[in-house]
Structure 1
Amino acid sequence: MKIFSKEQIYEGDKITTERQGISSTDLMERAGTQIFNWMHLRMQGAQVPIHVFCGIGNNGGDGLVIARHLITHGYNVKTYIVNCSDKRSKDFLINYDRVKNVTKNWPELLSCSEDFPEMHRDDIIVDAIFGIGLNRLVQSWIKELFIHFKKTQAFTLSVDIPSGLYTDKAVENEDAVVYAGFTLSFASPKLVFFLPETAKYTVQWEVLDIGLDPEFLQTTQTDVELIGKHEVLPNYIPRDKFSHKGNFGHSLIIGGSYGKIGAVSLTSRAALSAGSGLVTAYVPKCGYVPIQAALPEVMVITDNDEEQITSIDFEIKPSVIAFGIGAGTNNDTISAFGTFLKHNTAPLVIDADGLNILSKKKSLIKLLPDESILTPHPKELERLIGSWTDDFDKLKKAKAFSKKHKSILVIKGANTIIIFDDKLYVNTTGNPGMATAGSGDVLTGIITGLIAQGYHPSVAAIFGVFLHGKSADIAVEYFGYQSLVASHIIDYLGEAFIDLFKQPENIQETDDTADAEE
């Protein structure tokens, strides 16, 4: 799913009105009606007090459409105008008059904190105050209104985006943003729904189709894409009946040190479970018996040193190499890695101590082959690109790093983001149970195993992150968040593959919805 910028959404609105021969007011009617239909389907006429707060721009106009449909369908609704400016948009004024035509209870004007209505926990708040076009600081009394929303603990539904939240920059004041229980977003979700600093402003979200021009939606290229099943499935490579293990590549996993052989074991097993035809682990001598005993399917090459990697020397010709898992960062290991990079031509996946070595000795980054995959968690990323002021600054610096070094960055987190070719891919799978030792080692193995089979590194990164999270989502149903461990993710990887081809259950919706021409 594409994530459009606010400029692209404005352009899509303009193109839609021109090509479909409708007015901007008609498009607003569609948007507001879709949100009403969503509410009506779930509420079925329930007489819960609904408070609709409207700004004086187009987001407020959407709110007025919602309020009008709620009123005409007999709901217990009160409408408020948040008077933040003397300027009203044309479509707001049109819909303000339409509301006045269907009720004697005209919208109440709010201009200061003394005007705030009394609300209760069992009420519903509809937030249609500011939309994606917000470009100024929120006034202090409106900030107090947002705090008032939060204190009531009422369910809050935001229209398109929680008011006070920007689409393209950080929040200056956390109190100046609405905390939404649900956000109904037009055309596409917003990037801020997935970033660590701003995701908290909406617990859940859903995209509503408001009939934007199909050609615009299909042909417009975006800088951000949301990754789900429909995005990864076309990249799946089926297996031929007469194929053999040699068709699916050879993964070499280099890493481990005394006390950290388990990391290599997890990565090797994950690479096998992801489909790599062959897997070899390159470890210190102390890792030979543990891996041979735990993983009979994996071959083992040992370093001359008993406890750490001091040289990287092998005669096999791997399809892909993963480096760094549990390797440590002692001088001998750093030296061995540097020597290896000077001669290596195989695709690379670098994780854990491999990233720490690159951070310690940044000159080695220049030796990485193009399209190498780096899989940092936040602290590892900071050591690579430097500190950042906010999530947008982080992404800017990460994109610059990826472009400069022609690498693929996998920024691990609740919504892992893959950066490649100046574009962001935001993953949708995964859960808090993955915050456990070894989870990242498993991801490295999955990505490595996919590259071994012939997936392009960028596809392997995107597909691998999706499968990693999906497997954990399946496993957590059995183990819960606290008891989920990294090996469970490998155990359910097969089910994650199978789930790619499952059809979604049909969702039946009532036809008792508002007429857009009403």
Structure 2
Amino acid sequence: MYIFSAADIRAWDEYTILHEPISSIDLMERASLACVDWLQQHQPDNMGYAVFCGKGNNGGDGLAIARLLAEADHAVTVYILEFGHLGTEDFQTNLARLHESGAVIKFISAAENIPTLTVGETVIDALLGSGLNRPLEGLTAQVVGHINNSGLRVISIDMPTGLMADSSATGNTIIQADHTLSFQCYKPAFLVAENAAYIGQLHILDIGLHPGYPATQPSPFQWIDQAMVQSILRPRGAFSHKGTYGHAAIIAGSQGMMGAATLAARACLRSGVGKLTAHIPAIGYTIMQIAVPEAMTYTAGKEHVETAVSLGQYDVIGAGPGLGQYGSHRELLETIFQQCKNALVLDADALNVLSLHQELLGKLPPHTILTPHPKEFERLFGKTANDFERIQLALKRAAALKIVIVLKGRYSLVATPEGVAYFNSTGNPGMATGGSGDVLTGIITGLAAQGYSPVHAAIAGVFIHGLAGDIAASYTSQTSLIASDLVEYLADAFHQLEL
């Protein structure tokens, strides 16, 4: 799967037309057939449709869909926004074809022509596609508002009208779709939380665009899927030993928050690290020894971690889960930075302390991985007006600090120093539970200890974390999923990734 901008998708269409070869009207027919196939599989046989079309190619898709539905004996009424000009060439071709079907065609040229919709029918939104670059206004905005207020099921073709593929549409008038049928690949707009209420359930339909195009146009946005992660992971050697897979340190825990430390430690071990030493406060010694007997322990304070010593021996250090926010932790972080010789993973309270002492950002070792959720990111790097600005800020700060930033969310972002944004494909809402981030810290720490680069450890880590959550939810449920389940199903996740 790929993530492409609106301009790249238009270029992919043109590449397909040239190299398949295929005419643009036949490619439109192919896309429309894919939509109608989906509708016939997911809608009642006797469903009636109200199809709203603009006069661009998205409207052309809508006309072809309307014709195919009418030919399949559905009751179809088509409403075309009329501004006194001809549509695109393919729109006009499909309009001529539609006249030969049983569909009813009506035009909306003014607000008084906006129709009263029939209860029980489904609205097909083919007003405007991914080419939109400004907010809706006038009659178009009125029609969209009318559809949103109808209470009917709405299915958008390509993009919900009013949504922009590559930039924020916050505050604009936008179709609120129940389903969005898009083509071939993800668009940036599908990956941000601010658009979830408009997209509904997203379905990416394969319309056979030429497979040779992506190699000609590498995208700065990449999709983390199973194939990518399998290309990163290495099989374990027959003559390997525990020293082969690295020695990690987890610096975590405080009074009342030792659970976070044990979750991170267990996840680190389940991710294949050879040896693990947990640097914890004395109050958590018995807890760690019982909950994670495979880990060595080093007590570094009474009720919270106060010191950091002899850290140069570790292949990776993970710090933050359950650490608490104490006045001494600024010095603790600085000591960790000074002693860290290899990769460093910072999460949770380590990030909160870092945000309170911004001068430490410039002292981060170059192989650092930060794993903030959106609020932690905001405290670290400042507020943004929308999700798109947050993505760009993550990329900017990753490049400036020469670090990797894992911005956690539905499609967790891995922002790299090279300016590439990787979006994760696994995971589910059940993972929105306390301790889930501590497990991710342990996974990434365990992978980095085995010699994976910070970028590869982050990419594989977020995918495996989400995959374990998906497997766990299939056995438990999203509602009942807890962070311990993620650790328990890591074995199944790794097993699924074995070649």
TM-score normalised by structure 1 residue count? 0.91
Give runs of aligned pairs for residues 334-413 of structure 1, distance below 5 A. Answer: 334-413=330-409
Task: Give the distance between the partners of 1:22 and 1:483, measured in 2 at CA.
Answer: 50
Q: Give the partner amino acid of 2:35.
A: I
Alignment match, 1:434: 431
Corresponding residue for 2:28?
28
The 1:291/1:340 distance shift into structure 2, 3 A limit, reads: same
Residues 459, 85 of structure 1: CA spacing in aligned structure 2 closer, same or farther, 3 A cutoff? farther
Task: Map Cα deviations across residues 300-322 of structure 1 (whole Å, 9 max, x no partner).
Answer: 0111x312222211277211110
Query: Is the Cα–Cα contact under 8 Å of residues 317 and 445 in structure 2 kept in the other structure?
Result: yes
| Partner Cα separation in structure 1 for residue 47 and residue 231 of structure 2 | 45
> Does the 8 A contact of 1:255 with 1:324 survive in 2?
yes
1:313 alignment counterpart: 309
User: 1:337 corresponds to which letter in structure 2?
Assistant: L
| Deviations, residues 197-245 of structure 1 (Å, cap 9, x unaligned) | 0122122222223332221134421111222323322222222233222
CA contact (8 A) 1:410 1:416 kept: yes
How far off is 1:493 after superposition?
1.1
Give 5+ residue unaligned stretches, structure 1. 503-518
Deviation at 1:172, TM superposition (A): 4.2
Structure 1 stretch 352-361 or stretch 362-371: which is displaced more?
362-371
Report the identity percentage: 40
Aligned match for 2:463, one of 458, 463, 466: 466
State the match for 2:50 in structure 1: 51
What is the alpha-carbon root mean square deviation over aligned residues?
Answer: 2.1
Q: Please show how residues 142-153 of structure 1 align to structure 2 within 5 Å.
A: 142-153=140-151
Q: Deviations over 1:483-505 (max 9, x none)?
A: 32211111111112223359xxx
**Residue matched to 2:98:** 99
Structure 1 position 58, deviation (Å): 0.8
CA distance in 2 between counterparts of 1:391 and 1:324 reads 25
| Contact in 2 for aligned 1:186/1:208 (Cα 8 Å) | yes
Q: Distance in 1 between matches of 2:477 and 2:420?
A: 34
Partners in 1 of 2:225 and 2:323 — Cα distance?
A: 33
Residue 414 to residue 96, structure 1, CA distance change in 2 (3 Å): same
Contact 2:406 2:413 in 1 (8 A): yes
State how 1:45-444 maps to structure 2 within 5 Å: 46-83=45-82, 86=85, 88-103=87-102, 105-174=103-172, 176-303=173-300, 305-314=301-310, 317-420=313-416, 421-444=418-441
Question: Contact conserved, 2:32 with 2:62, CA < 8 A, in 1?
Answer: yes
Deviation at 1:280, TM superposition (A): 0.7
Following superposition, the deviation at residue 59 of structure 1 comes to 0.4
What's the CA shift for 1:288?
Answer: 1.7
User: By how many angstroms is 1:151 displaced?
Assistant: 3.3
Kindly indicate whether the alpha-carbon contact (under 8 Å) linking 1:120 and 1:153 is maintained by their aligned counterparts in 2: no
Superposed displacement of residue 352, structure 1: 1.0
In structure 1, what residue type is equivalent to 2:272? G
Counterpart Cα distance in 1 of 2:67 and 2:401:
55
User: How has the CA–CA distance of structure 1 residues 399 and 101 changed in structure 2, closer, same or farther, with 3 Å as cutoff?
Assistant: same
SS at match of 2:144: helix
Change in Cα spacing, 1:319 to 1:479, as seen in structure 2 (3 Å) is same
8 A Cα contact 2:273 2:449, kept in partner:
yes
**Runs in 1 of length 4+ with deviation above 4 angstroms?**
41-44
- The equivalent position to 2:448 in structure 1, one of 429, 440, 451, is 451
Q: What is the deviation of 1:401?
A: 0.5
What secondary structure is seen at the aligned counterpart in 2 of 1:108? strand
Quote how far apart the aligned CAs of 1:273 are.
0.9
Native 8 Å contact 2:86 2:92 kept in 1: no
Whole-angstrom distance in 1 between the partners of 2:271 and 2:83: 55
The offset of 1:267, in angstroms, is 0.6
Taking a change above 3 Å as real, the CA distance of residues 454 and 55 of structure 1, as seen in their structure-2 partners, is same
Report the AA paired with residue 181 of structure 1: D
3-state SS of 1:152 partner: coil
Change (3 A) 1:163 1:485: same
- Aligned residue for 2:496? 499
Deviation track 1:381-426 (CA, whole Å, cap 9, x = no partner) reads 0011101111111111111111101111111122211111212111
| Separation in 2, partners of 1:380, 1:156 | 36
Is the alpha carbon distance of 1:364 and 1:337 closer, same or farther for their aligned partners in structure 2, counting shifts above 3 Å?
same
Measure the CA separation in 1 of the matches of 2:326 and 2:227: 44
SS at match of 1:461: helix
* Displacement of 1:62: 0.9
Report the equivalent of 1:4.
4
Matched residue type, 1:437:
G
Q: Structure 2, unaligned stretches of length 5 or more?
A: none
Displacement of 1:248 in angstroms is: 1.2
- CA 1:29–1:478 in structure 2 vs 1: closer, same or farther (change >3 Å)? closer
Counterpart of 2:476 in 1: which secondary structure? helix
2:193 is paired with a residue whose SS is coil
Residue 120 of structure 1, CA deviation? 4.2
Q: Deviations over 1:6-63 (max 9, x none)?
A: 111111122222223443223222222222233234458x121111111111100111
Q: Which residue matches 1:39?
A: 39
The two structures have a TM-score, normalised by structure 2, of 0.94
Q: Describe the SS at the equivalent of 1:37.
A: helix
> Per the alignment, do residues 200 and 31 of structure 1 end up closer, same or farther by CA in structure 2, a change over 3 Å counting?
same
- Helix, strand or coil: the match of 1:167? coil
8 Å Cα contact 2:281/2:304 also seen in 1 = yes
